[in-house]
Amino acid sequence: EAGVAQSPRYKIIEKRQSVAFWCNPISGHATLYWYQQILGQGPKLLIQFQNNGVVDDSQLPKDRFSAERLKGVDSTLKIQPAKLEDSAVYLCASSLFLVGETQYFGPGTRLLVL
């Protein structure tokens, strides 16, 4: 079974530029999550999708971050414009359903904002 795929693996941009990350969850997984992990901290949930609907986006900085999962499969996370403090690893995870399921994480995209 293929795991969660993410691209790109690394990205370096200057502040005020925009950037997009892509995630393809494990086939058949209904729930998709985007996390932000700052160095030395635990992952922080940004947004959670159930199929193509948003379940929780309470910690998503909506003035600059957006995410979509139009067909209920893959997803993109965008930052526009980026700030220095957005430097982090962006992790995508998926789970079969919603209720207390094991989450499977992708390798992450390491973003550096200069």
Partner 1 sequence: GQQVMQIPQYQHVQEGEDFTTYCNSSTTLSNIQWYKQRPGGHPVFLIQLVKSGEVKKQKRLTFQFGEAKKNSSLHITATQTTDVGTYFCAALEGSNYKLTFGKGTLLTVNP
Alpha-carbon radius of gyration of the chain: 13
- Nearest CA-CA partner of 75 in 96, 106, 44, 103: 106
Interface with partner 1, residue 28, by CB under 8 A:
no
Rounded CA gap, 98 and 39, in Å? 28
Of 9-17, 36-44, 60-68, 72-80: span binding partner 1 (CB under 8 A): 36-44
CB of 43 to partner 1, least distance (A): 5
Q: Which of 43, 75, 77, 82 contacts partner 1 by CB under 8 A?
A: 43
Interface with partner 1, residue 13, by CB under 8 A:
no
Interface with partner 1, residue 56, by CB under 8 A:
yes
78 neighbors 65 (Cβ within 8 angstroms): yes
